[in-house]
Amino acid sequence: MSALGALIRRDIRLALRQGADSMMVIVFFVLVVVLFPLGVGPEPGILARIAAGVIWVAALLAAMLSMDRLFQADHADGTLELLVLSPLPLELQFLAKAAAHWLTTGAPLIIVSPLLGVLLNMGADGYPVMLLALALGTPSLSLIGGVGAALTLGARRSGVLLSLLVLPLFIPVLIFGVSAVDASLTGLESKAQLLILGGLLLGAAALTPWAGAAALRQAAE
């Protein structure tokens, strides 16, 4: 566990040293949401109706920005080979890197999202559910995106290929995340959608480390 924590702290420190990447994700998230009122008009009713979908789509696209670099630096400087030879199982190392990615990208998006909800005139009942849905959904994005990043490691135009691989897998998280917020805004129960998001997260946490570790071993050969 100490080795796992050390790996998470290492990746967080590296991300903070290259603070432009994390800031780029947040700025992109904000810009995408801000552009929607300019495009569809300032009508409060329309903005309130599309607020949940806009925030979730923007969060999904923003998270995609840094995923292709999740293992890129380790692959370029030879660290990936050392990680493969490390006594710490590669599956746990994959989880550590996905956790560090979420802490440096997903968590800041969750913190910023209420301010953007105010901009989009979201109803007050939607904020707690939106934060909980994002807290359950964004880790799944990091785990699934990590598998895509490992599969496309070393490929030409890896960013485009990564998007084609993982965006279809993000659709269930997007659907149930938006549905949970919409249900709370219309006075309906959102527990079922949140439970499904939790199930998707548990499934991703159980399955993606094995797929990601296999892809990383293949890339290191």
DSSP per residue, 158-210: HHHHHHHHHHHHHHHHHHHHHHHHHHHHTT---HHHHHHHHHHHHHHHHHHHH
pLDDT in tens, 42-79: 787 888 889 999 999 999 998 888 787 778 777 777 77
Considering the chain, what percentage of its residues have pLDDT values greater than 70?
95
Residue 121 confidence (pLDDT) = 87
Give the closest residue to 147 by CA, choosing from 166, 161, 123: 166
Measured between alpha carbons, how far is 82 from 90 in angstroms, rounded to an integer?
11
Give the up-direction half-sphere exposure of residue 129: CA atoms within 13 A in the CB hemisphere: 26
Mean pLDDT of the 17-38 span: 83
Q: What pLDDT does residue 129 have?
A: 94
Question: For residue 218, what pLDDT is reported?
Answer: 83
pLDDT at 58: 92
Q: What is the pLDDT of residue 10?
A: 79
Q: What is the mean pLDDT of the chain?
A: 86
pLDDT tens digits for range 166-205: 899 999 999 999 999 999 988 888 899 999 999 999 999 9
pLDDT of 20 above 70: no
Query: Do 185 and 66 contact (CB within 8 A), yes or no?
Result: no
Grade residue 19 by pLDDT with cuts at 50, 70 and 90.
low
pLDDT at 1: 61
Indicate whether 5 pLDDT > 90: no
pLDDT of residue 165: 86
The region that residue 123 occupies, defined by phi over 0 for left and psi between -120 and 50 for alpha, beta otherwise, is beta
Domain that holds residue 154: 2-220
Task: Please name which of 128, 167, 120, 143 lies closest in space to residue 215, comparing C-alpha atoms.
Answer: 143
Tell me the pLDDT tens digit for each residue of 131-158.
Answer: 999 999 999 999 999 898 888 887 677 6
Total structural domains in the chain? Answer: 1
Q: Regarding predicted confidence, which is higher, 14 or 194?
A: 194
CA–CA gap between residue 178 and residue 134 (Å, rounded):
10
Higher pLDDT, 172 or 14: 172
Smallest Cα–Cα separation from 153: which of 66, 64, 68?
Answer: 68
Helix or strand or coil: residue 30? helix
pLDDT at residue 46 in the model: 85
Residues 6+ apart with CB under 8 A from 3: 86, 88
Whether the model clears a pTM of 0.95, i.e. scores above it, the answer is no
Question: What's residue 164's pLDDT?
Answer: 85
Answer for the pair 61, 28: CB distance below 8 angstroms, yes or no: yes
Judge whether 100 and 69 are in contact, CB under 8 Å.
Answer: no
**pLDDT of the residue at 188:** 87
Tell which wins on pLDDT, 153 or 94. Answer: 94
